């Protein structure tokens, strides 16, 4: 059993997240605590009122909401009554015993899990202790409930990570397996088997398996505090749980990646010859468009990614050699392989906007700060339509964030 706790600004966002899941038919409200025998059959407006009445007692606390997910192993045999009992035991063993709390059961993932929505304001209007209080109580409660109900304990130590890395592993699909374990497996394998020398190159490799990486919010000194890894859906949008680099068993943190950057810069020099030869061979019979370029390179085991700045002033290619698992920026291969020059050699004169149009963009919304990804197809997974993805605005001194992925399966 694994508990993931998030503080939220207010309770409405977490509440409506779960209520929309009910409308979609993938969730059910099991309990409305601390009412005795509360079964969650209250009207929706009354469920929300139990939370907002409590948060209204202290309007000075900005982060007064609480959203907790209790995650169980797929092999755990849990019916509705058993999950309700576990949630009530969990609440009674933490400082949430006297707090209003809504318990939802979700069925939108491969593993059984519950969502708890509560608040951090006590009945007397004083805030509930969060750091060092609720978190520690939660860890202890999870260990006790694992033993009490015979649940499979979570594995934060990383001792069960796969020792042998397969030649090809599939792209992730949200809901087809435990999200955290699947995310950890892909990040562990990519960071140790792919050759990359920048955060952009790592992000390009992870995108092949529907995973994103981005820096966390900067600290007081303006530097990022760490990295965040998250699963993507088939349209390239973030979904499911996110994980700090330090929380993953493999610890793919910034210091670890910096070491990998130095090691990989030496290895990349000998691996670029094959990609150059593939690109030179492709232009002998010029492709008719960008999609044809992607298909021709895909036959040779090379994926191409297009980075388009938000102001659409120029663009850049990233090449991923799937046979040697090496990521190259176009500048690393030489002037004749830069994005504009390669298109010119192929007889194509495309602007960044024409790249988007030719790639059959379904929606071209207003771009956000930084660079934008346009994922299309994945070499080791299902094909997906081209959709816009907006990364968060983060102040990190790295080269332009790759923006558009076009690959061939």
Class of residue 284 by CB neighbours under 10 A (exposed 0-12, middle 13-18, buried 19+): exposed
Q: 85 in a domain, yes or no?
A: yes
* Helical pair 12-23 and 44-55, crossing angle rounded to 10 deg: 170
Residue 10 shares a structural domain with residue 143:
yes
Q: Tell me, what's the pLDDT at 314?
A: 62
pTM, 2 dp: 0.58
pLDDT tens across the length of the chain (409 residues): 888 888 888 899 999 999 998 998 888 898 888 764 555 677 888 889 989 999 899 888 888 899 998 988 877 888 888 999 999 999 999 988 888 999 999 887 777 889 999 998 888 888 887 776 788 888 899 999 999 988 888 754 444 444 344 545 677 777 777 777 888 888 988 898 899 988 888 888 888 888 888 888 776 776 667 899 988 877 667 887 788 888 888 889 888 898 888 888 888 877 888 888 888 888 887 777 777 787 788 888 888 877 665 555 567 788 888 888 899 888 888 888 887 788 888 888 776 666 655 554 322 332 222 233 333 333 443 332 222 223 333 222 233 333 333 333 3
- Rounded CA gap, 345 and 287, in Å? 10
Q: What is the distance between the alpha carbons of residues 2 and 136, in angstroms, rounded to a whole number?
A: 13
Asked if residue 389 belongs to a domain, the reply is yes
Q: What is the number of domains present in the chain?
A: 2
CA dist 336 and 233 (Å) reads 35
Show the beta-strand stretches assigned E in 14-145.
27-33, 65-71, 101-106, 113-119
Tokens representing 240 are 């499911």
Q: What is the pLDDT of residue 387?
A: 25
Q: Would you say residue 178 lies in a domain?
A: no
Q: What is the pLDDT of residue 164?
A: 41
Looking at the domain assignment, is residue 72 inside a domain? Answer: yes
Cis-peptide, bond into residue 34, ω within 30° of zero: yes
Q: Domain for residue 261, yes or no?
A: no
CATH number at residue 35: 3.30.930.30
DSSP 3-state percent helix, strand, coil across the chain (nearest 5)? 35, 20, 45
Neighbours of 79 (CB within 10 A): 9
pLDDT at 38: 57
Place of tokens 């495309």: 350
Last residue of a domain, one of 130, 149, 168: 149
Which of 99, 118, 149 is a domain's end point? 149
For residue 229, what are the contacts with CB-CB under 8 A and spacing of at least 6?
183, 187, 206, 211, 212, 213, 242, 243, 244, 245, 248, 252
Domain boundary among 149, 182, 214: 149
Q: Is residue 318 part of a domain?
A: yes
Pairing state of beta strands 227-232 and 326-329?
unpaired
C-alpha dist (Å) from residue 235 to 46, 212, 250: 36, 13, 27
| CB 334, CB 345: distance < 8 Å | no
CB distance 69 to 83 below 8 Å: no
Tell me which residue range forms the domain holding 274. 270-406
Output the six-digit token pair for 76. Answer: 């755990």
What residues does 66 pair with on adjacent strands? 7, 118
Same domain, 143 and 10: yes
Judge whether 238 lies within some domain. no
Q: Could you tell me if 387 and 363 are in contact, meaning their C-beta atoms sit under 8 angstroms apart? A: yes
Whole-number Cα distances in Å, 223 to 238, 254, 259, 346? 23, 11, 18, 41
392 within some domain: yes
Say whether both 276 and 145 belong to one domain: no
Helix (H, G, I), strand (E, B) or coil at 306: strand
Q: What is the pLDDT of residue 386?
A: 25
């Amino acid at each position: 059993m694994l508990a993931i706790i998030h503080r939220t600004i207010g309770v409405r966002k977490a509440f409506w997240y779960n209520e929309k899941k009910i409308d979609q038919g993938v969730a059910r409200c099991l309990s409305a605590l601390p009412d005795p025998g509360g079964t969650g059959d209250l009207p929706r407006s009354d469920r929300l009122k139990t939370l907002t009445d409590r948060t209204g007692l202290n309007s000075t606390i900005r982060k007064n909401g609480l959203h907790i997910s209790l995650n169980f192993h797929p092999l755990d045999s849990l019916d509705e009554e058993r999950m309700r009992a576990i949630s009530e035991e969990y609440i009674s063993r933490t400082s949430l015993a006297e707090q209003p709390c809504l318990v939802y059961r979700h069925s939108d993932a491969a593993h059984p899990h519950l969502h708890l929505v509560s608040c951090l304001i006590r009945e007397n209007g004083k805030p509930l202790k969060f750091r060092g209080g609720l978190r520690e109580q939660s860890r202890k409660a999870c260990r006790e409930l694992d033993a009490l109900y015979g649940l499979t304990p979570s594995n934060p130590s990383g001792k069960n990570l796969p020792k042998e890395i397969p030649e090809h592993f599939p792209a992730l699909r949200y809901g087809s397996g435990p999200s955290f374990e699947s995310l950890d497996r892909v990040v562990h394998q990519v960071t140790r088997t792919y050759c990359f020398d920048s955060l952009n190159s790592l992000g390009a490799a992870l995108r092949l398996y529907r995973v994103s990486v981005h820096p966390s919010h900067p600290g007081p000194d303006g530097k990022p505090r760490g990295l965040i890894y998250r699963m993507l859906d088939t349209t390239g949008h973030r979904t499911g749980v996110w994980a700090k680099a330090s929380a993953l068993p493999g610890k793919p943190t910034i210091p670890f990646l910096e070491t990998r950057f130095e090691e990989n810069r030496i290895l990349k020099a000998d691996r670029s010859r094959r990609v150059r030869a593939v690109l030179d061979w492709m232009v002998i019979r010029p492709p008719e468009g960008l999609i044809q370029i992607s298909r021709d390179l895909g036959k040779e085991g090379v994926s191409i990614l297009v980075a388009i700045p938000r102001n659409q002033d120029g663009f850049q290619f990233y090449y991923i050699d799937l046979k040697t698992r090496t990521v190259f920026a176009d500048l690393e291969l030489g002037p004749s392989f830069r994005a504009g020059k390669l298109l010119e050699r192929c007889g194509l004169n495309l602007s960044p906007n024409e790249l988007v149009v030719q790639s059959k963009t379904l929606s071209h919304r207003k771009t956000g700060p930084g660079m934008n990804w346009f994922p299309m197809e994945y070499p080791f997974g299902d094909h997906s339509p081209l959709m816009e993805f907006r990364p968060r605005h983060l102040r990190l001194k790295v080269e332009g964030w790759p923006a558009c992925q076009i690959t061939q399966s």
